[in-house]
A and B are shown apart, each in its own frame.
Chain A
């Protein structure tokens, strides 16, 4: 499940088919953020409150998605789930972005041997199976949320480093930046004043794609019992629990899966919309 988020940026870059709609992508992203904040509060019941008399009920007015083996309301657990996987995925995105931005900017601004070494490193890192790394990190540090976030980010940063480095190179070549360099401006100042603003769009698009990937990866790890603790209202963990009743109560498996797929689809679409508008995104898979 290695993120190919940056690959998706390349799509249609040179031959745009649709008219750019970055604002629509932005709106979609904001809507998702809103959902993550608001959804848990909309849960009609306490997601961990048990009602043993109402266990394994089918959909009804009181429980639109039925109840699980402990009589907990599935809809409430689903809504509370917005506070779990998406938040962990956002943490992976943020951490990767932080490392990737540092490496990418240094690489792009320094150029030369530093650039070659760092980019070679990125290429190597990108071919490592991220989920396997997350598992090994969890195996060594002990299974925890932190271990999983570190493990996924340990590979994923390279996606950002590459995009940011290529964008930095492209920006550096533009006249006003060349002028600033010629005038002896401090590299940090150049990075912040001239390069960073141009990065915003492509990085946001990449963030949307990489969020989609991180949600899938994290939910997968929780499904294996290595992400969120079992019993918590996390979608992957819910699916894992529901396996024991999969045949008699398929809805318990179907509902959280649809939540994951829906959120990931929205993030992928947001990424598409955002990158559609980014005419200047370089085809960084053509090596220099």
Chain B
């Protein structure tokens, strides 16, 4: 057991820093890889779509440092990024950092709610299916979850709006700003993840139930509930946590589409708007933010898993 938790954490953090550096190069590359002249693209956007003159472009290049060697441009750009300067959105003229901050909290609200809803659906479903495995209950629950995984979420969003907002009038069909607004979009994201997680909870529990110490516990005459809570659940925790970590990415993908349908001002919709509008500074900012979030969530999940099950952390 050479690697203590602290040492592991250090190693993982160092790895995360390497990834962040790579991410920053990728982010910088967006503007370099752009078809056409970056200076001209930015200037055209500033001029509300009118084509700037060649002189104006040349002046802009010189005054904004576009003629410097790439490494120097990169360092200057990185300095800006680290101090929160991500440029200005072509579409709104606001700083990208302001755009991202608002969108991040909206997406966090949406995906966070969806995550909780997903757990509330998937955990009971998965546990029930595992406990009654092989029975009709199991079959039905797993059948429902495979249907849940197969329904396109943008379509489900529209059907939910038709049904819950228009026919029943229970919930607002789109928008932002009150708890009622978050319910429908979060439910769509939750249901499309819940099926998979339920199935995984079920299989992890079944695997854990087969472990020798679980049989021993039963042999000692412990109750089913007791065994499930104290002997099965801990064994199934690590794989379930891994999957939940992966769900963060899956749910964000879900949010991209769902936010657009429900006019939720989150990162997903910002990203879609930026792609359709060729809003490169926003695109770049979104890439950096999503990448950083992914790296940090990974780090968190890794550390959480090592804390729960030291054998795993030690081996990697």
Is A–B contact present in the complex under a CB 8 A cutoff?
yes
Q: Considering the chains assembled together, what is the distance between the CA atoms of A232 and B19 in angstroms?
A: 40
Interface segment, A22-30, A99-107, A170-178, A216-224?
Answer: A216-224
- Once A126-B246, A143-B275, A226-B272 are accepted as A-B contacts, the answer to whether A15 and B207 lie under 8 Å apart by CB is yes
CB distance from A23 to the nearest CB of B (A): 20
B239 contacts across to A, CB distance below 8 A: 285-286
Chain A residue at minimal CB-CB distance from B239? A285
* Any B CB within 8 A of the CB of A212: yes
CB distance from B183 to the nearest CB of A (A): 20
* Any A CB within 8 A of the CB of B134: yes
B271 contacts across to A, CB distance below 8 A: 132, 135-136
B298–A124 touching, CB < 8 Å: yes
CB distance from A140 to the nearest CB of B (A): 6
Chain B residue at minimal CB-CB distance from A215? B152
B150 contacts across to A, CB distance below 8 A: 212, 216, 261, 264-265, 268
A264–B152 touching, CB < 8 Å: yes
* Any B CB within 8 A of the CB of A243: yes
* Any A CB within 8 A of the CB of B214: no
Chain A residue at minimal CB-CB distance from B151? A261
B147 contacts across to A, CB distance below 8 A: 261, 265
B290 contacts across to A, CB distance below 8 A: 129, 132
CB distance from A131 to the nearest CB of B (A): 4
- Once A12-B203, A131-B256, A268-B146 are accepted as A-B contacts, the answer to whether A4 and B152 lie under 8 Å apart by CB is no
| Interface members, chain B 3-48 (any A CB < 8 Å) | 15, 19, 30, 33-35
B245 contacts across to A, CB distance below 8 A: 127
* Any B CB within 8 A of the CB of A70: no
Interface segment, A33-41, A47-55, A197-205, A246-254?
Answer: A246-254
Most chain-B CB neighbours within 10 Å: which of A123, A131, A250? A131
B154–A220 touching, CB < 8 Å: yes
Which of B146, B196, B291, B298 contacts A269, CB < 8 Å? Answer: B146
* Any B CB within 8 A of the CB of A280: no
B250 contacts across to A, CB distance below 8 A: 1-2, 4, 129
Chain A residue at minimal CB-CB distance from B209? A15
Q: Considering the chains assembled together, what is the distance between the CA atoms of A239 and B155 in angstroms?
A: 8
Q: Considering the chains assembled together, what is the distance between the CA atoms of A136 and B145 in angstroms?
A: 31
Q: Considering the chains assembled together, what is the distance between the CA atoms of A173 and B257 in angstroms?
A: 44
A224–B196 touching, CB < 8 Å: no
Q: Considering the chains assembled together, what is the distance between the CA atoms of A7 and B206 in angstroms?
A: 15
Chain A residue at minimal CB-CB distance from B207? A14
- Once A4-B243, A140-B283 are accepted as A-B contacts, the answer to whether A124 and B19 lie under 8 Å apart by CB is yes
CB distance from A47 to the nearest CB of B (A): 20
Chain B residue at minimal CB-CB distance from A266? B150
CB distance from A29 to the nearest CB of B (A): 16
B155–A257 touching, CB < 8 Å: yes
* Any A CB within 8 A of the CB of B199: yes
CB distance from A216 to the nearest CB of B (A): 5
B134 contacts across to A, CB distance below 8 A: 17
B294–A223 touching, CB < 8 Å: no
* Any A CB within 8 A of the CB of B252: yes
CB distance from B249 to the nearest CB of A (A): 4
B155–A260 touching, CB < 8 Å: yes
| Interface members, chain B 221-272 (any A CB < 8 Å) | 239, 242-243, 245-246, 248-250, 252-254, 256-257, 260, 268, 271-272
B152 contacts across to A, CB distance below 8 A: 216, 219-220, 223, 236, 257, 260-261, 264
B287–A2 touching, CB < 8 Å: no
- Once A7-B243, A10-B200, A126-B246 are accepted as A-B contacts, the answer to whether A253 and B155 lie under 8 Å apart by CB is yes
A-B contact count, CB below 8 Å? Answer: 174
Q: Considering the chains assembled together, what is the distance between the CA atoms of A12 and B249 in angstroms?
A: 25
Chain B residue at minimal CB-CB distance from A137? B275
Interface segment, B66-74, B81-89, B94-102, B158-166?
Answer: B158-166
B253 contacts across to A, CB distance below 8 A: 1-2, 129-132, 217
A127–B249 touching, CB < 8 Å: yes
B34 contacts across to A, CB distance below 8 A: 140
A225–B276 touching, CB < 8 Å: yes
A15 contacts across to B, CB distance below 8 A: 133, 206-207, 210
* Any A CB within 8 A of the CB of B308: no
- Once A7-B200, A14-B206, A127-B297 are accepted as A-B contacts, the answer to whether A140 and B155 lie under 8 Å apart by CB is no
Which 7 pairs of residues, A with B, have the shortest CB-CB distance? Answer: A257-B155, A131-B253, A1-B253, A139-B275, A265-B150, A264-B150, A2-B250
Interface residues of A (CB under 8 A from B): 1-2, 4, 7-8, 10-15, 17, 120, 123-124, 126-132, 135-136, 138-140, 142-143, 212, 216-217, 219-220, 223-226, 236, 239, 243, 246-247, 250, 253-254, 256-257, 260-261, 264-265, 268-269, 272, 283, 285-288
Interface residues of B (CB under 8 A from A): 15, 19, 30, 33-35, 133-134, 138, 146-147, 149-155, 158-159, 162, 166, 192, 196, 199-200, 202-203, 206-207, 210, 239, 242-243, 245-246, 248-250, 252-254, 256-257, 260, 268, 271-272, 274-276, 278, 280, 283, 286-287, 290-291, 294-295, 297-298, 312, 315-316
Q: List 21 A-B contacts (CB under 8 A).
A: A1-B253, A1-B257, A2-B246, A4-B246, A8-B199, A10-B200, A15-B133, A15-B206, A120-B15, A124-B295, A126-B249, A129-B253, A130-B249, A139-B278, A224-B256, A243-B158, A253-B158, A261-B147, A264-B149, A264-B150, A287-B312
